[in-house]
Amino acid sequence: MNPYYGRRRAEAPKEERGLRKVFICSPFHPAGETKAEIAADLERNLERAKLACRAAVDRGYVPYAPHLYFPQFLSEDDEDEREMGILLGLTWLARCDELWVIGTRISDGMKKELEMAHEWGIPVRFMLPVKADRERKVSIYDEF
């Protein structure tokens, strides 16, 4: 059994860590007044998270984007399930080397993730989306 099982990955010797893991922190819950606005914002949020994951892979990271995974089987409309998704995402964050904040809007869920990253000493980087190229290359995000 791995002696570092259940501990933050950063506590393991460097040679045992493998690829660096990055937590993608971006809005999921859509904003808007009408159904059309809400649907369009959700689509933008999902696309932004996917592009951030691609940017992470292009830079040699393993991206962790719980808001792309947990809503597949947990309901965002059920407050208990939404909270469960956020808590499950925090277990992923605990294993990551960095947290990337994507964009400038900080949702309530993102605030919790940022608070925990600070508490756990996980470095935070702020990234702005730039228009994606056709190959969805790393140039789509710039740090600010």
Of 1.10.3720.10, 3.40.50.450, 2.60.40.10, 1.10.260.40, which CATH number belongs to 17-143?
3.40.50.450
Per DSSP, the residues of 13-75 read: -GGG--SEEEEEE---S---SSHHHHHHHHHHHHHHHHHHHHHHHHTTEEEE-HHHHGGGTS-
pLDDT at position 13 is 58
pLDDT at position 140 is 47
d(CA 81, CA 25): 19
Degrees (nearest 5) of the Cα angle 37, 101, 12?
Answer: 140
10-residue block means of pLDDT along the chain (144 residues)? 47 65 92 90 91 90 96 92 93 96 90 96 88 53 54
pLDDT at position 17 is 58
Per-domain boundaries in the chain: 17-143
pLDDT at position 128 is 82
pLDDT at position 104 is 87
